[in-house]
A and B are shown apart, each in its own frame.
Chain A
């Protein structure tokens, strides 16, 4: 199973690199869909049907919306000229990457190897969650009982995104 996931991950990386460098924006979007649906297969192989379901429907709807947007605008990427300012931007980017990478390596130094971590919090979630919440689906039980604030935050983010889109894309009020 690890081999299958590794192969899918390699294909996802190839797809994302191609999406970055594609000349046509439509093919870039299709490659992004490749990454998303590869993630769906990974979730299914890792036995997470809840996440796979959400990822599948979200990926499909966003793909449709983005294809509709790209077909109605220019399909070519805007040409960016290379000057001294872009050199500075790249230097800042590399510096931030080096900083993050250094602290990431420092942070995972004392961690247990992958898949062997101790489940201090998760143990009390997994054991007896059905009695505590009454829901057979453990994921829903955690989402709406133990971590209800988290769920409310997600819903508020979606609400704010919809309101922001409505506010940014109105034409009448701008004039």
Chain B
């Protein structure tokens, strides 16, 4: 897949970092303001999709990338389950128990395990959306050969 024109490339260069940062902000502030793991994860995946659409990529590089994103989403979903099991070991004997100290409501470091869940769900969603997109592109590249 070849890239787009120089204007699109330059605007993408300027914008993609801001989109990525905004995704991280949405994930980290999920327990304080609207948003959370799902919205932030899709934003991060969107930053990568924008890069791939604008600059294009060879099939070989995409293969490496799809392996990475697939591993990333697997680690994300695994960590969610590990957190659930850790709640069973450390807190009350239930899944998904909020076992960390809650802190003061409204602070960035508060709400116990909820920010951690937000982060791992965000990693999982970003990896999954990017994997689906890369799988479609690789299919097109290989079938057109």
Contacts and interface: CB of A to CB of B under 8 A. Distances in A.
B84 to A, nearest CB: 7
A contact patch SS: helix
B114 to A, nearest CB: 5
B95 A165 contact: no
Nearest to B94: A148
A137 B110 contact: no
B95 A149 contact: yes
Q: Give the size category of B's interface with A.
A: 35 or more
Q: Sort chain A's interface into a size bin.
A: 35 or more
Contacts of A161: 128, 132
Nearest to A65: B133
Contacts of B42: 54, 57-58, 61
A65 B50 CA distance: 11
Contacts of B34: 49-50, 53, 137, 139
Nearest to A52: B34
Interface in B25-63: 26, 30-36, 38-39, 42-43, 45-46, 49, 53
A133 B124 contact: no
A152 B45 contact: no
Given A61-B46, A133-B114, A159 B132 contact: no
Interface in A31-61: 49-50, 53-54, 57-58, 60-61
A151 B42 CA distance: 15
Contacts of B32: 135-137
